[in-house]
Structure 1
Amino acid sequence: MSRRITVPGDRWRREDGPAGGARKPPWALAFVGVVLLIGMHFAAPLSGGVYAFTDWDGFNSANFVGWDNFREIMDSRVQRDALLHTFVLAACYLVLVNVVGLVLALALNRTLKSRNVLRTLFFAPAVLSPLAVSYVWQYMFTYDGAINRMLGGIGLDPLRHEWLGDPSTAIWCVLVVMVWQHSGQAMIIFLAGLQGVADELEEAAVIDGARTWMRLRRVTLPLLAPAFTIVSTLMLISGLRVFDQVYALTGGGPVYSTETLATQVYQQTFVEGRFGFGASIAMVMTVLISILGIANMMYQRRRERRL
């Protein structure tokens, strides 16, 4: 009987035997990994979902309270404001990161001699610790910090302000730090998408008389649709669960003006010891992230097919 030679791409085929056909991969080898995945990524959220319907304080036995925790979220002004702040930060962050990241990518996609250095500089904040970055910015936002000193140095003393101490400006300071740190990440994704835009298409558009804006709108942006899908999904999820920047810059203040759902989870669970109530806020945040993230991805995918 002749023996068939097995090629690398055919390693799951039977080498001999009358039946032939495909051999199933040994799923038993993945058993440990699957168990760990379920234990780390699904067991904890599911158990938290159970505690969301209790009044557990972390020490004593948990008593079932039904939907009372969720009613309190809707009745509490602090929780409603935290939900509103979460939406505002996520929406503004999503738009600004896409715009700034795209502008940087378009500017650094050209044959600048220093483009590699500039790309590294703009991307560097994305790999730094959000807490470390936020503490640096906290010093810059203080009344005697770098921003107010710069304003005073150029003759704009009336604009000096206690940026983090004013409820009307504190949340926008958080937004500035978020956009500053993650625009480089969006830039890298857009740069990867721009590498797939063939030079021939740009040249054909130039020959047809299309100006810069028209080439950007009709050629470049439609071909960047997959990159927009990735960036918008990642940044939307990141914006909805923002915690580090708020915690380091303002701690949720002043006067709860920068509280988000994530900071309220920490506050209610580990500061006030209301583990059940904190779990209910976490469940609300998880549901919102899941719904909005999936809806955004579906919309972006349909948009890709239309372009």
Structure 2
Amino acid sequence: MRVAAQRFEAYLYVLPLVALLLFVFGYPLVRIFEFSFKMVRGIDGPWIGFRNYELILSQGLFWESVLHNLQLLLAIPAMVLISLIVSIMLYERVAGWRLYRVIVFVPFILAVPIIAVVMKRMFQFSGPVNEVLRWLSLDFMALDWIGSPDVALWTVMVLIIWRESALGIILFLARLLSLDEATIEASKIDGASWWQRAFHIIVPQMRGVIEFYVIVSVITLLSAVFAYVYIVGGGRGGPGTATMVIELYIFNALIRTSLPGIASAASVLLFLVAVALMYPLFRARRRVAAEERGP
């Protein structure tokens, strides 16, 4: 009885925080689901069933936004490869590794709007990137990185790769520091090259954390790129709709066209996709924890 009472007492301690979280996050979530089935004008409106969802799914702009989010997923292989190579180099303590560790962590510490503003200045047609290319007599590569509809989304992708790879480096380096160094040292003695050690010894032992990072990156690129495209695209997904993504589509529906029902329906769809990705995320996290505990 005493054990049961102590367990019940522990729940009482966390009850106020749970109630606060339910109020802060749970109530808005319920209201969003409710608004997605209404024609909201002001603070409420009549029930219209699935009409908002039908309107969204029939809009070309919505599907274009979805396509842009899917295109951004192409950044994930580059993020994984960069993170692996840099983390292994830091793990092997190349000359100046302490300085390099600070440099690669800085992008992830800085706020996205700060980075996006700086990068937008750098990639302007008359910005430093094009000036360097012209100085190197590579004028054909001096593109309108921000103003061209054909290039703008890829410029955003470069920015995302540069910043989000820092998280991968942090995760991979943490996993590397928990590995048994005896196997790696033995491979060095046997004459294994750097690439052989990396892809035949180190990477197989990091499968769980790589899966975890990939799933986190998928969720990020589907539902957490608003700040990037808002600043680079001038707040409207420009030029034209070249950098329009789902989050910006929701923002425009709510703020610019005052259609809370449409914005809520799109938010619900995005939320359901994110929830669907949570299961493999937790599976990957359990695998990482099991690997860190060892056999």
| TM-score using structure 1 length | 0.86
Q: Aligned residue for 2:250?
A: 265
Give the superposition deviation at 1:98. Answer: 1.3
Q: Aligned residue for 2:71?
A: 88
Give the superposition deviation at 1:192. Answer: 0.5
Between the aligned residues of both structures, percent identity stands at 22
Q: Aligned residue for 1:53?
A: 37
Aligned residues: 286
d(CA) in 2 for partners of 1:178, 1:131: 12
Between Structure 1 and Structure 2, whose CA radius of gyration is higher? 1
Residue 42 (str. 1) matches residue 23 (str. 2): no
Residue 63 (str. 1) matches residue 46 (str. 2): yes
Judged with a 3 Å threshold, the aligned counterparts in structure 2 of structure 1 residues 199 and 295 are, in CA distance, closer, same or farther, namely closer
d(CA) in 1 for partners of 2:2, 2:55: 63
The one of 210, 215, 240 equivalent to 1:228 is 210
The one of 187, 197, 209 equivalent to 1:205 is 187
Aligned counterparts, 1:48-197, within 5 A: 48-57=32-41, 59=42, 61-89=44-72, 91-197=73-179
Q: Secondary structure at the match of 1:163?
A: coil
Q: Aligned residue for 1:30?
A: 14
Residue 287 (str. 1) matches residue 272 (str. 2): yes
Q: Secondary structure at the match of 1:165?
A: coil
CA contact (8 A) 1:225 1:304 kept: no
Give the superposition deviation at 1:194. Answer: 0.6
d(CA) in 1 for partners of 2:217, 2:78: 10
Judged with a 3 Å threshold, the aligned counterparts in structure 2 of structure 1 residues 256 and 181 are, in CA distance, closer, same or farther, namely same
Give the superposition deviation at 1:140. Answer: 1.2
Letter in 1 for 2:270: M
d(CA) in 1 for partners of 2:194, 2:186: 13
Q: Secondary structure at the match of 2:183?
A: helix
d(CA) in 1 for partners of 2:64, 2:232: 18
Judged with a 3 Å threshold, the aligned counterparts in structure 2 of structure 1 residues 138 and 50 are, in CA distance, closer, same or farther, namely same
CA contact (8 A) 2:83 2:169 kept: yes
d(CA) in 1 for partners of 2:25, 2:67: 28
What CA deviation, in whole Å up to 9, does each residue of 1:230-255 have, x standing for no partner? 32232221111110000000131112
CA-atom RMSD, angstroms? Answer: 2.3
d(CA) in 2 for partners of 1:50, 1:21: 42
CA contact (8 A) 1:236 1:293 kept: no
Judged with a 3 Å threshold, the aligned counterparts in structure 2 of structure 1 residues 134 and 87 are, in CA distance, closer, same or farther, namely same
d(CA) in 2 for partners of 1:158, 1:236: 33
d(CA) in 2 for partners of 1:69, 1:119: 48
d(CA) in 1 for partners of 2:165, 2:2: 54
Q: Which runs of 5+ in 1 are unaligned?
A: 1-18
CA contact (8 A) 2:209 2:288 kept: no
Letter in 2 for 1:200: A
Judged with a 3 Å threshold, the aligned counterparts in structure 2 of structure 1 residues 204 and 50 are, in CA distance, closer, same or farther, namely same
CA contact (8 A) 1:190 1:227 kept: yes
What CA deviation, in whole Å up to 9, does each residue of 1:89-119 have, x standing for no partner? 1x22322221111111011112234211111
d(CA) in 1 for partners of 2:43, 2:83: 49
Letter in 2 for 1:280: A
Letter in 1 for 2:156: V
Give the superposition deviation at 1:125. Answer: 0.8
Judged with a 3 Å threshold, the aligned counterparts in structure 2 of structure 1 residues 219 and 120 are, in CA distance, closer, same or farther, namely same
Judged with a 3 Å threshold, the aligned counterparts in structure 2 of structure 1 residues 286 and 172 are, in CA distance, closer, same or farther, namely same
| TM-score using structure 2 length | 0.89
Judged with a 3 Å threshold, the aligned counterparts in structure 2 of structure 1 residues 283 and 170 are, in CA distance, closer, same or farther, namely same
Q: Which runs of 5+ in 2 are unaligned?
A: none
Give the superposition deviation at 1:218. Answer: 2.8
